Amino acid sequence: MRSRFTSLRRLISRWRFVITQQCTPQQLALIPLCLFLLLLILLGNSHQQPDVALIQTRLNEAQPTETNRVPPLEPAQAEINPTDINSKIHESEIRGVWITNVASSVMFAPWGIPRAVRQLAKMNFNTVYPVVWNRGKSFYHSDTLKRLTGNAIAPMISLTHPTEDPLAEMLRTGHQQNLRIIPWFEYGFMVPLGSKLATQHPDWLTARQNGSHELHESNLTGNRQSKATFLSRLLGSGAPKSLGWLNPLHPEVQTLISALVQEVISQYDVEGIQFDDHFSLPADFGYDPYTVALYQAEHDGQLPPNRSDNADWLRWRADKFSQFVGTLHDQVKATCPTCLFSLSPNPANFAYRFHLQDWRTWVANDWIDELVVQVYRDELDSFEGELAKETLQSTMDRIPVSIGILTGTWRRPISFEQIRQQVVSSRDHHFSGVSFFYWDTLWSYFTPESPQKRRQNFRELLADKPL
């Protein structure tokens, strides 16, 4: 013991000599500088919230324990049972957020996902809807898309996530924080006309009456944005100039969507999957050769009505689409009985008339497990008017219904006061919870208030109903 102590003293005195006698002042200055840089690197990934949480999280990741183990991909071996999380969360208020790749860096920055997940958990969120399908590209490893387009994952993502795809990372970090991860097929049937899917399979695209495949902005009115300008496209991370629509009635398109869903629920430990208003057929569409032939076959050779809003024509297409929804639901439940089939549509009348999304029927047939209705309104009266509608009230008797609240976009910033009023109103109407669109406008520079103030406000808003 004594000899060890002596050698330690010798070592210290030797290094003290080296440091004091042989180091130049510049080298001495480098010591605190190196420590400073090390601190920067450690804090770098925490981005905007320098605290010890990240270091702790990393230590936990490096040394899995019984209570904090990385969930494996195989559902059968999953330590966290999706049913448990789903039921636990359905007993309390659903607090969800959508995470997209559009106008967002979260998927592209290496620290983006851990940071987002950690902050969301800290703020008492319990559900995340991360994008997995957008602009004809996937944000998880998809063999189906690899076969069809040559890219198993969005090319930029493969560069920034060389070892682990964003969905796997989201699940690993999210489950550690007890968050529900429900992959969101954001684009549904919508694809850029310049994408490989659209150019290699033009027969998969549906068409308007004039034969055009292009989606008009008017097709996405309601909750959607106005015409995209050059600046907005720039800010929108290279949003495509022209969009088309895969024909949801086409068997090969249905196979594609089914395959993508199957990949997600069978290869990843998810709590469910979610589609939104893009999981639809805009009412202008349906005049493509396949759909017309199908219509003629069932209507003694008659052509579809010229008016796209013809009630029978709307009903026929909506019913055809609903058949596919039923099939897809059965496939999901056959593969993963505990997975939720979540839908985030527009309010019912709008969804049916403009998107042929007859979600009332889907709910009535028990195909939908959870509904998150997008009520993106600025005026509180209009917002509350939607909440009070009979359809929503009756749906609440069957399944959990939460309200999608817009927290802003880069072009449409929304004050926290408006968000607070809408959350309070949703609670007053006894909905199951709220989901915010989208992560980047919860608390960032792209909000009217400072990020810190915004976080403080959300903390207070979500703290008064503990989970």
Site residues (vs another protein, CB under 8 A): 25-26, 29, 33, 36, 39-40, 43-44, 47-50, 410, 413, 444-453
If we measure between CA atoms, which residue out of 350, 359, 166 comes closest to residue 268? 166
Would you say 120 or 256 has its CB closer to another protein?
120
Would you say 313 or 438 has its CB closer to another protein?
438
Q: Nearest approach, Cβ of 4 to another protein (angstroms)?
A: 37
Q: Nearest approach, Cβ of 44 to another protein (angstroms)?
A: 6
Q: What DSSP designation does 305 have?
A: P
Spatial distance between the Cα atoms of 289 and 249, rounded to a whole number of angstroms: 12
If we measure between CA atoms, which residue out of 442, 429, 339 comes closest to residue 389? 429
| Residues near 229 by beta carbon (within 8 Å), at least 6 away in sequence | none
Spatial distance between the Cα atoms of 357 and 366, rounded to a whole number of angstroms: 15
Would you say 402 or 444 has its CB closer to another protein?
444
If we measure between CA atoms, which residue out of 96, 77, 177 comes closest to residue 344? 96
Q: Is the dihedral of CA 115, 119, 121, 126 positive or negative?
A: negative
Would you say 12 or 234 has its CB closer to another protein?
234
| Residues near 107 by beta carbon (within 8 Å), at least 6 away in sequence | 99, 101, 113, 131, 139, 157, 160, 166
Would you say 134 or 407 has its CB closer to another protein?
407
| Residues near 63 by beta carbon (within 8 Å), at least 6 away in sequence | none
Would you say 358 or 440 has its CB closer to another protein?
440
Q: Helix (H, G, I), strand (E, B), or coil: what is residue 74?
A: coil
Q: Nearest approach, Cβ of 33 to another protein (angstroms)?
A: 7
Would you say 11 or 52 has its CB closer to another protein?
52
Q: Nearest approach, Cβ of 27 to another protein (angstroms)?
A: 10
Q: Nearest approach, Cβ of 134 to another protein (angstroms)?
A: 24
Rg (CA), the chain: 26
Q: Nearest approach, Cβ of 213 to another protein (angstroms)?
A: 35
Would you say 226 or 349 has its CB closer to another protein?
226
Per-residue tokens: 386: 């939607």
Would you say 44 or 155 has its CB closer to another protein?
44
Would you say 48 or 158 has its CB closer to another protein?
48
Residue type, 198: A
Q: Nearest approach, Cβ of 20 to another protein (angstroms)?
A: 13
| Whether 237 contacts 306, CB under 8 Å | no
Spatial distance between the Cα atoms of 246 and 252, rounded to a whole number of angstroms: 10
Q: Nearest approach, Cβ of 407 to another protein (angstroms)?
A: 13
Would you say 119 or 142 has its CB closer to another protein?
119
Q: Nearest approach, Cβ of 235 to another protein (angstroms)?
A: 11
Q: Nearest approach, Cβ of 28 to another protein (angstroms)?
A: 9
Q: Helix (H, G, I), strand (E, B), or coil: what is residue 122?
A: helix
Question: How far, CA to CA in Å, does 457 sit from each of 48, 431, 464?
Answer: 17, 21, 12
Other CB atoms within a 10 A radius of the CB of residue 250 amount to: 21
Q: Nearest approach, Cβ of 451 to another protein (angstroms)?
A: 6
Helix or strand run (H / E) with residue 42: helix 25-44
372 has which bridge partners? 402
| Residues near 181 by beta carbon (within 8 Å), at least 6 away in sequence | 128, 130, 167, 170, 171, 174, 175, 270, 271
